[in-house]
Amino acid sequence: MKKLLVSIKLEMEVPDDWILEKTADGADVLNMGNGSFLDMSFEPLVTDDKSGTWTDNYDDEFANLVLDMVRSEETEMKLMLS
């Protein structure tokens, strides 16, 4: 098998009242208020046409197959003042 390395850097503008917190496991999540939290993570998207619409509409068997291929995932979040 080959090794695939995917690097994703995402920059977002979020409301000033969102707060960066850590879960009990030490993962970074955003507290959006009202008991809602946001996690940014890897999610596979598929399509039958590479120039078409991409979707997460696949069965659990496919999702598990892809996720079982992941050997490590690292996500770091930082809130920065503009």
pLDDT digits (tens, 9 = 90+) for 26-43: 989 999 999 999 998 888
Rounded mean pLDDT of 53-66? 96
Average pLDDT, rounded, for the chain: 93
Flag whether pLDDT at 82 surpasses 80. Answer: no
| Statement: the pTM of the whole predicted model exceeds 0.85 | no
Of these ranges, 25-29, 62-66, 76-80, the one predicted with the greatest mean pLDDT is 62-66
The helix (H) or strand (E) run that includes residue 69 is helix 60-69
The answer to whether 60 and 67 have CB atoms below 8 angstroms apart is no
- Contacts (Cβ under 8 Å, ≥6 apart) of 21: 28, 29, 30, 31, 37
pLDDT at 47: 97
